[in-house]
Amino acid sequence: MTTYAYLGPSGTFTEAALRKITTSSDVLTPYANVTAALDAVRNGLAEKALVPIENSVEGVVARTLDELATGAPLVVSAETTIPVSFALVVLSENVGKPINKIATHPHAESQCRLYIAKNHPGAEMIETASTAAAAKGLVDGNYDAAIAAEIAAEKYGLAVVAKDIGDNTGAVTRFVVVEKPGQLPAATGNDRTSLAAFIDIDHAGALLEILTEFAKRNVNLTFIQSRPTGRELGHYHFIIDAEGHISDPKVNEAIEGVRAICEDIRLLGSYPRVGATK
């Protein structure tokens, strides 16, 4: 039995992704936001957490990146993906009534812009911590509709007004399993190594210096994102995903090369990619 924290409430895409990789004996506890879910691991309330990190349409989940790069260290030990499909839901008694306020998570809104513009151009958009929180909040009467997963409508007894309203029907979200640092998963031959690289201060060629350490060793990068450290203007760190396991000599050498030119680096994990075979 493993205890998991996840972005809640019940009915989120995160819960759906978590149920793909857990068993009926595992304990799944929802938390209000990504920070709370990760802090549950840091504080010993959960052994692992599942949080979203990247969407094929909207891009990165900045809060997840920032939480992994700062605070008490955590590492990614696995990943999973699920397709995401959005629905417009209302209280059953309000089917057919005007929709003036729609609640949802910002990532969901951005993926349903065409539908909203065409069908509810005058509706006020209300931001919530998750799509399931938007669905759950309908019962409070603060808005008329929510954009969420169909599973959320089932959980909260809501009526689906429209299905598959996303602008891109092939949207996929990647989630990561996060836990306290310990023994890394063994190499599978299809792995990903993640790290945060902190440069001393922004300067011309800083990113090129980092990229060169990987390029000259023929290590492919699948993801790179710059984020401010929060200290002051000009201070940034880069979140990097590289193909391969930290035990691979060329990956290890590249990371040590990055360490030599950066103020600091934080290993965020070395783990099987989605589809890896053990």
CATH of residue 200's domain is: 3.30.70.260
Nearest to 261 by CA among 191, 211, 215: 211
- How would residue 233 be classed by pLDDT, with cut points 50, 70 and 90? low
pTM, to two decimals: 0.87
The pLDDT value recorded for residue 234 is 62
Amino acid at 250: K
User: CA-to-CA distance for 53 and 239, rounded, in angstroms?
Assistant: 11
Contact 196, 268 (CB under 8 A): yes
Same domain, 110 and 42: no
Does 142 reside within a domain?
Answer: yes
Domain-located, residue 168 = no
Query: Distances from the Cα of 141 to the Cαs of 37, 87, 137, 138, 183, in angstroms?
Result: 27, 19, 7, 6, 48
Look up residue 248 and give its two tokens: 């691979």
Please compute the mean of the pLDDT values over residues 116-125 and round it to a whole number. Answer: 96
Are residue 218 and residue 256 in the same domain, yes or no?
yes
Same domain, 16 and 63: yes
**Is residue 277 included in any domain, yes or no?**
no
Q: Is residue 16 part of a domain?
A: yes
Give the total number of structural domains in the chain. 3
Do 236 and 201 fall into the same domain?
Answer: yes
Q: What CATH number is attached to the domain comprising 150?
A: 3.40.190.10
| CA 88 centroid distance within chain | 22
Q: Using alpha carbons only, give the angle 1, 269, 173 rounded to the nearest 5 degrees.
A: 75
Any domain includes 135: yes
**Same-domain status, 91 and 65:** no
Q: What's residue 82's pLDDT? A: 94
pLDDT tens-digit profile of 204-221? 677 889 999 999 999 999
Nearest-angstrom CA–CA distance, 81 and 66 = 20
pLDDT in tens, 66-112: 999 988 999 999 999 999 999 999 999 999 999 999 999 998 999 99
Are residues 76 and 92 part of one domain? no
Distance CA 65, CA 276 (A): 23
Residue 185 lies in a domain: no
Judged on CB neighbours under 10 Å (0-12, 13-18, 19+), 45 is middle
The parent domain of residue 9 ranges over 3-82+173-179
Q: Are residues 75 and 100 in the same domain?
A: no
